[in-house]
């Protein structure tokens, strides 16, 4: 097992106490990140029923039970051979126990399975469904020492990879060719589910999933964003280079992002509101006449997801939250978007220490 059993059980007990306070009978976990949080292991098609009291039930595909048991502390297991049987077992368990209120996680994660949710509603019309995302986000936002140790290991993987990745940039090389080499490095260093984004100018894209027909050109930016994981926990890093000699707006953009990055590092300390940092950063963007080219928001959480709560670029209400010790944050997440040049971005992952200061998880020598 990658996590001590007692830590996972402690998380479970804390979560069960929270759902009892809200009169929730049980919670159905279907997102991969929260599944790892409670079981300690990544498993495809996650399905975990957590009652308000007692042991959780894992629903595992037929033939996978023994391998699952070797990697987790969960022993209450039901197997299924196809999707219909899975939903039938979940529904049967809920009815057998008389559960009336079920929690589900309504978040931004890609594997949230809306199809399962719709099927569940049709088969359980008398069951009330409530969103437990706030409860899970609150727990997962502050990391324990085991989580921080994994994030530090992920940071070393990402930093070593980025150092090599920047050497892959050359005129005529496609985004997918660069990404392929980066993935190879990440997997060889122990990352199990890495995320790689490449934006080769001249057309900027915020979410830069690599294109095969987008190639590095002269007089443009190339941004590389790497998310590498260790035992499911991520570190996030981004760097931008200009192919050629930067001048005018391209030079101003590089100067601006460096100044924004340094100011964010200086201001992001315990008890600071994200919105206050954002206002100060906007003054820097304005100084370089780049305010209208920046994406709003500057930071997001990092952990079992490469981008998790708080997320100031997606959820405006998170901009009014305060930085707390135990958070792991990535910044500056929001790029400068320049037509005819590409995007400009510099981002690292930091741990907010108990004394309120920052510990850099990713860095370049």
Per-residue HEC secondary structure of 101-120 comes to EEEECCCCCCCCCHHHHHHH
Distances (CA, A) of 85 to 20, 62, 115, 120, 352: 29, 11, 15, 12, 45
Dump pLDDT digits (tens) for 53-72: 999 999 999 999 999 999 99
**Residue ranges of E strands in the chain:** 26-29, 48-51, 57-61, 77-80, 101-104, 128-131, 195-200, 220-230, 233-243, 300-301, 308-311, 328-331, 336-338, 342-344, 348-352, 358-360
Mean pLDDT of 276-300: 97
> In the prediction, which pLDDT does 115 show?
64
> In the prediction, which pLDDT does 330 show?
97
> In the prediction, which pLDDT does 114 show?
62
Q: Quick one: pLDDT band at residue 113, thresholds 50, 70, 90?
A: low
> Percent of the chain having pLDDT more than 90?
86
Is pLDDT above 80 for 4? yes
Instruction: Report the candidate in 140, 52, 159, 49 with the shortest Cα–Cα distance to residue 93.
Output: 49
Contact 134, 162 (CB under 8 A): no
What domains, with CATH codes, occur in the chain? 5-140 (3.40.350.10), 142-360 (3.90.230.10)
Q: Quick one: pLDDT band at residue 124, thresholds 50, 70, 90?
A: confident
Q: Quick one: pLDDT band at residue 365, thresholds 50, 70, 90?
A: low
Mean pLDDT of 348-357: 96
Contact 140, 304 (CB under 8 A): yes
Mean pLDDT of 15-43: 95
Contact 137, 18 (CB under 8 A): no
Is pLDDT above 60 for 110? no
> In the prediction, which pLDDT does 112 show?
55
> In the prediction, which pLDDT does 72 show?
96
The residue with greater pLDDT, 82 or 227, is 227
295 DSSP 8-state letter? P
Give the relative orientation of helices 133-141 and 5-21 as an angle to the nearest 10 degrees. 140
Contact 10, 85 (CB under 8 A): no
> In the prediction, which pLDDT does 78 show?
95
Dihedral Cα 74, 77, 82, 83, nearest 10 deg: -70
> What's the mean pLDDT when you consider all of the chain?
94
């Amino acid at each position: 097992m990658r996590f001590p059993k007692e830590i996972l059980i402690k998380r479970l007990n804390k979560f069960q106490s929270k759902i009892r306070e809200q009169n929730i009978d049980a919670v159905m976990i279907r997102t991969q990140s929260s599944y790892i949080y409670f079981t300690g292991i990544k498993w495809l098609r996650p399905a975990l029923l957590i009652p308000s009291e007692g042991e959780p039930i894992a629903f595992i595909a037929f033939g996978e039970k023994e391998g699952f048991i070797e990697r987790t502390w969960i022993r209450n297991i039901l197997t299924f051979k196809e999707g219909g049987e899975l939903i039938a077992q979940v529904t049967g368990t809920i009815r057998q126990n008389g559960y009336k209120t079920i929690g589900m996680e309504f978040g931004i994660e890609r594997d949230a399975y809306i199809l399962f949710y719709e099927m569940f509603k049709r088969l359980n019309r008398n069951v009330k469904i409530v969103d437990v995302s706030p409860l899970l986000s609150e727990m997962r936002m502050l990391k324990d020492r085991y989580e921080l140790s994994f994030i530090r290991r992920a940071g070393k993987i990402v930093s070593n990879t980025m150092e090599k990745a920047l050497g892959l940039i050359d005129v005529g090389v496609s985004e997918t060719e660069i990404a392929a080499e980066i993935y190879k490095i990440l997997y060889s260093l122990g990352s199990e589910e890495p995320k790689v984004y490449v934006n080769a100018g001249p057309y900027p894209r915020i979410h830069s999933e690599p294109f095969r027909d987008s190639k590095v050109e002269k007089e443009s930016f190339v941004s590389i964003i790497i998310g590498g994981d260790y035992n499911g926990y991520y570190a996030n890093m981004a760097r931008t280079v200009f192919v050629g000699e930067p001048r005018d707006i391209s030079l101003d953009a590089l100067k601006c992002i460096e100044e924004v990055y340094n100011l964010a590092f200086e201001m992001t300390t315990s008890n600071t509101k994200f919105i206050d940092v954002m206002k100060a950063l906007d003054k820097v963007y304005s100084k370089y006449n780049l305010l209208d080219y920046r994406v709003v928001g500057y930071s997001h959480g990092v952990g079992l997801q490469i981008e998790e709560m708080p997320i100031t670029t997606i959820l405006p209400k998170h901009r009014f939250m305060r930085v707390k010790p135990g958070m792991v944050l990535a910044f500056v997440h929001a790029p400068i978007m320049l037509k005819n040049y590409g995007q400009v971005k510099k981002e690292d992952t930091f741990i907010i220490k108990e004394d309120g200061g920052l510990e850099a998880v990713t860095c370049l020598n």
